[in-house]
Structure formats: C-alpha cells, structure tokens
Amino acid sequence: MAGRITFTIIKPGAVQNEHIGPILSKITDAGFHIAGIKMVQLSRNEARQFYCIHEEKSFFEELIEFMVSGPIVVAILEKHNAVEDFRKLIGNTDPQKADSGTIRNMFAKSVQANAVHGSDSDENARKESEYFFSGFEKFFVDEKNCVQGAMN
C-alpha cells in the first residue's frame, strides 16, 4: 500500500535563486499538505550522514560540497500515494530529460543542482523525515482534518 508521506529538500541552488516560494506553490497546488518545514544549513558531517548511501560513488564529494554550500529547506509532505505522486511532480533527475512543467524542468540547473530531492520509497521517506524532524516538529491531518502528531 502506498504511503501518505514523502520527504523533500529544496537544495542550495534553488534556495539561493529564490525559488522556495514557487516550488512550494507547485507542491501545494498538486495537493500536498506540508506536515513539517524548516530551513537548515547542513554541516559536512550531517550531509555525509544523510547521503551515506552514495559514499562509494564518484560524485559523493561533489554532492557534499554542493549540499553544504548554502541553506536548504526540508519538508515532510503528506498526500495519498505521496512518494509516487511527488516523484512525478519533480521529474527526472536530469532537468534536460524532465517533463515540461515539472519542478526540475522549471527550476534545476544541472543533474547535481537539480533543485529538489524527493524520497524514492515509503521507507526512505520515513527515514529521511526522521533524520531532520523530531515528532514535535511535524503533524499530519487525517481524513477528518484532525491533527495527528507525536502527542497523540
């Protein structure tokens, strides 16, 4: 069964180019509820921990340098079928291959500076959300529009 949450990062290039508002508008216009959001500056150690799955890849050091080059915006997004729907909304990692109207097509500069990160599975959405947010910092709305959070 598809999960109700996904996780995103608006990356340093998109933040520096003041694309936060337009990106968040596209996200909410697509029917996502923002369950948690904040701006942070990653340390090298934090970036290395978050992207450790790529540690053996040739682009790892360049990725870390990029991700610590400026502030990022992290958010937990909620919607039925969240991961799959968000992956469609953001488009291909390569902005040249991303469908017209997707976030990466509109705001990315390159494969690395591709504007946003989006979780690739329900399990990773949970792990990535928990990396950046405590239970107190996020909330979810159920079908009756009742807040469901860490205190429930």
- Rounded to the nearest angstrom, the gap between the alpha carbon of residue 46 and the centroid of all alpha carbons in its chain is 16
Beta strands at 5-10 and 116-118: parallel, antiparallel or unpaired = antiparallel
Phi, psi of 133 (to 5 degrees): -130, 135
Contact 107, 14 (CB under 8 A): yes
The Cα–Cα gap between 73 and 85 comes to 20
Catalytic residue among 33, 54, 80, 117: 117
CA atoms of 111 and 94, how far apart (whole Å): 5
Is 117 a known active-site residue? yes
- Two structure tokens written together for 94: 């390569």
Which amino acids are annotated catalytic?
117
